[in-house]
Amino acid sequence: MYYCIVNPKARSGRGKEIWDKLEYKFLEKGLDYEVHLTKGPAHATRIAAKLTTDPSFAKELPIKIVVLGGDGTLNEVINGISDFDKVLLGYVPIGSANDFARDLSYPKKIESLIDTIVKGQEVRCLDLGRLTFNSAEGELPPGDNGKAKNTRLFDVSSGIGFDAAVCEEAVSSGTKSFLNKIGLGKLSYGVIALRQLLGAEKVPCDIELDGGEKIHLERFIFIAAMIHHYEGGGFNFAPEADLTDGRFDLVYAGNMPPVRMMIALPFSFFGNYYWIKGIGHKKVSKVTIRTVKPMWVHTDGEVSVKSDNITLECLKQSLRLMN
């Protein structure tokens, strides 16, 4: 049995239309499947939680879940899965950013992705990240009953500061939605990034790495724990990232004027910016970040709360993919 979680609003509202065209692949092969259309924020999380906790769905293992949507939909699904050992996940990226899929050499034709998924076999196993809010300002989105309320999982990246503020404004301002409608969704992050940099305030922070090393920044701009190479719709913030080594590429920018960061952004798009003074890079499996005031935090571009104290851990090879 395949359980298909489809975001009908993905690809500027064409998610359901795209699914209708792909459904014949399941019919063609005579496979059993169920379709679940998401109806709003966190609905994909609730669907995934029910599929992986309700005994009636766990009779046939592994539980095969197919996600049709963007990075946000995928993030919601992984935060609903109660036991990753029991799940095989298939992913069809039809969002505006699709940062998760960039590293995976997926074929351009979505039909080819489905052809691989319906074989029902594990193709690769990737790292996941777990974010723990040691403090939080705001209401955390729901996860499944098997996780602590103050934690969130992520599959691409998690960040605090500038990159999270960009994600928050992209959603709250409606800029991303507007650009998506006219086919320019990928530009939303770049446009907002320039505006956020110009208004960046001076905030000190302390970074504590798993080996005991401590880093203090009098003015930090952003800190990102990267599993994949890309975030923000194609910015190659972690060109050396390994998706399976159990470690983040921790990238941070600080003690530098916003103007220098504006210069660094074009270089970061091509993965060539570590040489710029004020850009730091570490390989870590766990890190704790403390800031002097609560700042926006994101997981895979999803933002809901601010925090001044977070811990990030890498969960080695936890996500089993069918494509």
Taking alpha carbons only, the member of 250, 67, 239, 71 closest to residue 155 is 71
- Whether the CB-CB separation of 135 and 307 falls below 8 Å is answered with yes
Q: Pick from 126, 154, 181: which residue ends a domain?
A: 126
Taking alpha carbons only, the member of 113, 83, 88 closest to residue 98 is 113
Between the alpha carbon of residue 180 and those of residues 11, 155, 174, 187, 295, the distances in Å are: 8, 23, 10, 9, 27
Flag whether pLDDT at 163 surpasses 90: no
Specify whether 29 is located in the same domain as 85. yes
Q: Pick from 77, 111, 126: which residue ends a domain?
A: 126
CATH code, 184: 2.60.200.40
Specify whether 121 is located in the same domain as 242. no
pLDDT band at 178 (very low <50, low <70, confident <90, very high): low
CATH code, 84: 3.40.50.10330
Distance CA 321, CA 323 (A): 5
Specify whether 25 is located in the same domain as 111. yes
pLDDT band at 191 (very low <50, low <70, confident <90, very high): low
Work out the mean pLDDT of the chain and round it to a whole number. 88
pLDDT over 70 for what percent of the chain? Answer: 88
Specify whether 198 is located in the same domain as 77. no
Interval 59-88 mean pLDDT: 94
pLDDT value of residue 182: 47
The parent domain of residue 103 ranges over 2-126
Q: What is the DSSP string of 20-84?
A: HHHHHHHHHTT--EEEEE--STTHHHHHHHHHHHSGGG-SSSSEEEEEEE-HHHHHHHHTT-S-G
Specify whether 147 is located in the same domain as 270. yes
Specify whether 186 is located in the same domain as 304. yes
Specify whether 122 is located in the same domain as 152. no
In this predicted model, what pLDDT tens digit does every residue of 194-245 receive, in sequence order?
666 666 678 999 999 998 999 999 999 899 999 999 988 888 999 999 999 9
Specify whether 65 is located in the same domain as 207. no
Helix spans in 62-138 (H):
71-78, 99-102, 110-117
pLDDT value of residue 145: 46
Specify whether 302 is located in the same domain as 155. yes
Neighbours of 143 (CB within 10 A): 24
In this predicted model, what pLDDT tens digit does every residue of 92-151 receive, in sequence order?
999 878 999 999 989 888 899 999 999 999 999 999 999 999 998 877 776 554 556 799
- Whether the CB-CB separation of 209 and 215 falls below 8 Å is answered with yes
- Counting the structural domains of the chain, the total is 2
- Whether the CB-CB separation of 130 and 318 falls below 8 Å is answered with no
Specify whether 99 is located in the same domain as 150. no
Specify whether 16 is located in the same domain as 138. no
pTM, full prediction = 0.90
pLDDT band at 166 (very low <50, low <70, confident <90, very high): confident
Specify whether 145 is located in the same domain as 282. yes
Distance CA 221, CA 32 (A): 49
- Whether the CB-CB separation of 289 and 321 falls below 8 Å is answered with no
Q: Pick from 73, 101, 126: which residue ends a domain?
A: 126
